Amino acid sequence: MEAPVLSAQPDTIEAPADLLPGDYAGPRVLRRLLVLAAVLAGAVALVSLLPGLDSVRDAFAGARWEWLVLAAGLEVLSCLSYVLVFRAVFCPRMSWRASYEIGAAELATNSVVSVGGAGGLALGAWILRRGGMPAALIARRTVAFFLITSLASVTALVVAGIGLGTGVLHGAPDRALGWAPAALGLAAALVASAIPPAARFLAGRIGHTPVEKALQALAAGVEEALALLRSRDVAVIAGAAGYMLFDVAMLGVCFAAFGLAVPPVGLLLMAYLIGQLGGLIPLPGGLGGVDGGLIGTLVLYGAGATAAATAVLAYRAIVLLLPLALGVPALRQVHRRLQAEAPRGDRCDAGRARGGRLGGLAVETD
């Protein structure tokens, strides 16, 4: 069933194509990058100068660069997996060039605007709207994309939790540290499956308002996500899984890069999934939130404090800087294309067989 239109606006936007949204315009992005650079410099200074961190400094001094190169390669694979699932969800016949540029721009945005990934998705939605994709379709598929990537983490949380709880996966200091997250993951999956009827029920009570349209889009987006998962689309499943698992593997490699014992797979995965919740704190690049969450959870699950701090700091440096290196040039290219091309009508609609193609960001009919 076609989702209701979210806006009465025409399919093209009349705003000048040479302007990005205020939060992503050059001066603001530059300020955010400067803030991020200052915070990173402050973190380096603290590690270098504070007393009591000698063991961390010693670990950094023994860095094995071949392992750090491997970690960077895994992060690149994680970023490419994000592009893969982005294209599969939003428009399977979008050009790979446009898919990469929009996906990389979103990842770079998440490095400087950390609200659980919402900043990058907001930028991607704006770019797609400028490219001619209808607002209703963007809203529905943004919900589907967020749910699919989140369900990859929830699935891993349940699997790792059950493994630790039953003892199949070793290393948990207390089996409750496996069963409790698994139960929360299952509860989250049940809540997600109940969203469509609940959202439509509330929408029917509210009437024709922006809230009603948002609830309808939420319901349609969840249904589309579930349909995509039931279809067993390889790009959707591999992209969502790869985006998370390559990142987890990169964290493990960061332990090995400093000669530290890599935590068992179950503990590493569990600590990663829980620790990433710190990214919901709206700090530049999630600095402080994600770092503290990861270090604290790793220590809770049995990693040594020095090992956890060393690996997490290296991991966070790579996960912040590498997407920026990939995404800033991509965002500049998107900006140039938007200046050069006028938006045209979209064919990436609910009829996925008809598809559509975002060649230069403007959607063309094949």
Ordered per-residue pLDDT tens for the chain, 366 residues: 333 333 333 333 333 334 455 555 555 556 666 666 666 666 666 665 555 566 666 676 777 889 999 999 999 999 999 999 999 999 888 889 989 999 998 898 887 765 555 677 888 888 888 877 888 888 889 999 999 998 888 999 899 899 988 888 877 778 888 888 899 989 988 888 888 888 888 877 777 777 888 888 888 889 989 899 888 889 999 999 999 999 999 999 999 999 888 888 888 888 888 877 765 555 555 555 677 778 888 888 888 888 888 888 889 889 888 988 898 888 888 877 776 664 444 456 544 534 444 444 544 333
Scanning the structure block, which residue is given the tokens 């990693």?
303
Domain ranges in the chain are: 22-339
